[in-house]
Amino acid sequence: MANLKEVKQRINSVISTQQITKAMKMVSAAKLRRAQDKIVQMRPYSQKLTTILTNVSASAEGAADIVYAQKRDGKKVLLVPVTSDKGLCGAFNTNIIKATNAAIQEQFAGAEISILPLGKKAYEYFKKSSHTVIDTYFGVFQNLTFETVRDAAEFAMNGFVAGDYDQVFLIFNEFKNVATQIVRTEQFLPMAQQETEESNATETDYILEPSRAYIIEELVPTSLKIQFYKAVLESNASEHGARMTAMDKATENAGELLKELKLMYNRTRQAAITNEILEIVAGANALAGK
């Protein structure tokens, strides 16, 4: 059985850890509120922009005229895994890495894979792989703004137009609530079928100035950048939710461990006192026997 000093040191260590996890939970809760507000405000805007794009392009000559909707053979694929810069958020980062590896091995087996990691954890993992890794944009979460994310989106879009990539996929955690994050593998380019050729699109009579072609030319890149930014915001909110949940669970576990350690401390202390009493009684009996 451990002595009193060792148990006391363990108790103090667990108390310190519990204080840290409590503080991290509170920080994550504050960040989550801001991140959740951003994604809640972004979703209606993104959906409305997609609806307008669907209606306008459905009434145009066809999606074949949109360069970002061109279908290709898929021999060159760019994957964009979105993770966090830090750990201590449960399986948040691990799930994205697993999903990316599964996509490489199953969905894109035999294709030439390039990876555009967003988040330090994704970069640190995939830089050790044999795939081509673009290391320019993994620090987007250090200053998360639309302008920062837009640069990464434009890199993927320009690469698709130039023929460097036949397909681009976003792999990220979609935010549902604090305890639930859903891993999504979403096609970014070429544009999804429902966004360009949806036969059931609601017919809306738009007055377009200066021309339909100009509007589509301007609207499509904007819509794609918003879609890209939305995925990053989803991941950002999911990260704080996952970290808040993980730290809450860690705090609870620390509390349970403290109960066990305090019980062990009391038992050890009681045993030590009992031994001291026995030694005193034994000494007194020995003196009495003389």
Active-site residue set: 89
In 3D space, the residue among 118, 115, 121 whose CA is nearest the CA of residue 92 turns out to be 121
Query: Are β-strands 167-177 and 180-189 bridged in parallel, bridged antiparallel, or unpaired?
Result: antiparallel
Residues in contact with 15: Cβ distance below 8 Å, sequence separation at least 6, in sequence order: 254, 258
**Cα(164)–Cα(116) distance, integer angstroms:** 13
Q: What is the CA radius of gyration of the chain?
A: 29
Amino acid at 249: K
DSSP string, 202-232: PP-----SS-HHHHHHHHHHHHHHHHHHHHH
The total number of residues shown for the chain amounts to 290
